[in-house]
Amino acid sequence: MSSWTSCVSFKCGNSLGCLNKVPTKKTDKFARRLSFFPSQHVKCMRCTLDTRCSALKGVFRVPASAAARYSDFSSQIRSVLGTLASSVVFKSFFLIYRTKRCVAYINDACCHSTPNHHPENQTNHTTPDTPPNLYFFSSNPYKNSFNSDFFIAPISFLSSNMAGTGLFAEILDGDVYRYYANGEWKKSSSGKSVSIINPTTRKTQYKVQACSQEEVNKVMDLAKSAQKLWAKTPLWKRAELLHKAAAILKEHKAPIAECLVKEIAKPAKDAVTEVVRSGDLVSYCAEEGVRILGEGKFLVSDSFPGNERTKYCLTSKIPLGVILAIPPFNYPVNLAVSKIAPALIAGNSIVLKPPTQGAVSALHMVHCFHLAGFPKGLINCVTGKGSEIGDFLTMHPGVNCISFTGGDTGIAISKKAGMIPLQMELGGKDACIVLEDADLDLVAACIIKGGFSYSGQRCTAVKVVLVMESVADALVEKVKAKVAKLTVGPPEDNCDITPVVSESSANFIEGLVMDAKEKGATLCQEYKREGNLIWPLLLDNIRPDMRIAWEEPFGPVLPVIRINSVEEGIHHCNASNFGLQGSVFTKDVNKAIMISDAMETGTVQINSAPARGPDHFPFQGIKDSGIGSQGITNSINMMTKIKTTVINLPSPSYTMG
């Protein structure tokens, strides 16, 4: 008989416990070693409860010969799982109990579960027809009953490894994540770290290295040297490596999504979507880069008046050099790869400075590029406080281009950057103009999606609704009804509204709401806040003297301004310092085009909420909303420069004739 073996343990030294009593002497010793006693509970939970996945080294397995000795699932659990387990769709998956933090492995209509047990809750359950191995990956000794809430995760969820473990173990040094330079994960010589606060718990979730200016200098030198060699790499080879990175990124979406949930409170489903979308972006960029950069241009001199055909002009696109990429907290993976992939396919090197909130997600993403086999020094990621290395990076003489997405900081960067090319996506006050003939059901649905997705923390979120007075009451009622259906809670539960990224953000949002309330705005819902969690709020009868009419809340609050003419709506939109996106709702396409032409924004959506994607569409802002244009094609072009070679002939050359 095979004995029990464990390959799972907490990094504090304690093994993952699942058993308290085993019916054979052969396993008694092992059971005692695995079992959690009260003291172990305290020790393990203290160091792993909030970061339980990153606190595990792997998984352990239970041979069928031993597992088969356990009693059947309770009828309570079997009734819940029976239908799912027999479904083709759920033929092989993990059932993860939110309260138990345990896993039930379902395979071919056989239900198996080995939850972690508190001494007061010692029953183990599994069916006799156990598969060869049972897998477990987290624990929490809650005493809740077995019929707790659960969610489904595919079997790949476990095999992909969790944050800071498995393939990603080398990026973690103790409890501090390393930075990436010259193809290696390194610990900063500063000896300092930066804490990342979980928006939901408001406690430290992760720590990253606080890089020094000296380390930034070294990274810049490495990036410059690596870029020279990378520029000589064939275009097809660059594309091949990008495709490989995209595949790895999508394969290991689970640990990256986990980080997004814990760092920025992004709903779990949306977190996975961001990673998959990022992989698709990288692949598309590789294909588009081959097409764009594989074509040159040929000119002859006699096409310009007064010239003979004595000059042949050859033009091509060549890399800029070192690209400094600075993504924002709300999409730290997608908006990082939207800068990294175009830079790499164009022959540039990258220095990535991720946001503090979102840094660990970005580090996991960078490791996927590392695993793809890119040359050393080509991709670098430095972490630290913006106050210590932010200006030093943006003003560094080794930087040849800055691609930045964020807020007002971008304006300061643009003033200091000097002569280098800039790609800036900054703030927005995206207006939604609603005409009398608009489909109000469509408008309400788009306002909910556009205004409240990810708690309104999107540059393309609807930030103000400008609705014609004649249909305002009807629209407000429809939106109110939909707001009431939005779920509010932690990101792990895939709630519609999750905590905003920081306490300072929540305070700023609250200040806008209180200002509007004091000045006579109508709050369509009761204002409610718990910590960083703000309940969705629609504010009607907003006037121009209220701050929220002009300032960007970046939260789940949406102002409604009633207008009496289209011209009034356009005027309000254009009076803003921002000009990122806008939207128009009407059944009259001709009128929609005219309004679009009049709106001073980078993009206007007709009969839809503002949106960034698809990622190959041009994306740009005007005024204080940005410089330059993004989108895959535009980014590739922006990160290159034109190189011209002119061949001079001793005498005119014409085709034979």
Q: Give the C-alpha separation, 572 to 599, whole Å.
A: 10
Cα–Cα distance list, 486 to 10, 459, 501, 539 (Å):
37, 21, 19, 16
Non-local (6+) Cβ contacts of 87 within 8 A are none
Pairing relationship of beta strands 581-585 and 603-606 according to DSSP bridges: parallel
The verdict on whether 568 is a catalytic residue reads no
Cα–Cα distance list, 153 to 103, 108, 110, 197, 342 (Å):
10, 16, 16, 26, 33
Chain centroid offset of residue 207 CA: 18
Cβ atoms of 379 and 349 closer than 8 Å: yes
Neighbours of 337 (CB within 10 A): 33
Task: Measure the CA angle with vertex 364, ends 227 and 376; round to 5°.
Answer: 25
Cβ atoms of 50 and 198 closer than 8 Å: yes
Q: Give the C-alpha separation, 330 to 298, whole Å.
A: 43
Neighbours of 214 (CB within 10 A): 11
Half-sphere exposure of 444 (CA within 13 A, CB side): 18
CA-wise closest residue to 619 among 589, 579, 577: 579
Q: Among residues 215, 263, 425, 552, which one is catalytic? A: 425
Cβ atoms of 574 and 555 closer than 8 Å: no
Chain centroid offset of residue 323 CA: 20
In angstroms, what is the C-alpha Rg of the chain? 28
Cβ atoms of 350 and 378 closer than 8 Å: yes
Cβ atoms of 24 and 69 closer than 8 Å: yes
Cα–Cα distance list, 427 to 50, 257, 349, 404, 625 (Å):
33, 25, 27, 12, 5
Residue owning tokens 């979980």 = 198
CA-wise closest residue to 647 among 385, 312, 333: 312
Residue owning tokens 């121009």 = 544
Residues constituting the chain: 657
Cβ atoms of 612 and 335 closer than 8 Å: no
Amino acid identity for residue 561 in this structure? I
Q: Give the C-alpha separation, 244 to 248, whole Å.
A: 6
Amino acid identity for residue 613 in this structure? G
Q: Give the C-alpha separation, 316 to 294, whole Å.
A: 9
Pairing relationship of beta strands 125-126 and 179-181 according to DSSP bridges: unpaired
Left (φ > 0), alpha (ψ -120 to 50) or beta: where does 102 sit? Answer: beta
Strand partners, 558: 538
- Catalytic center residues: 425
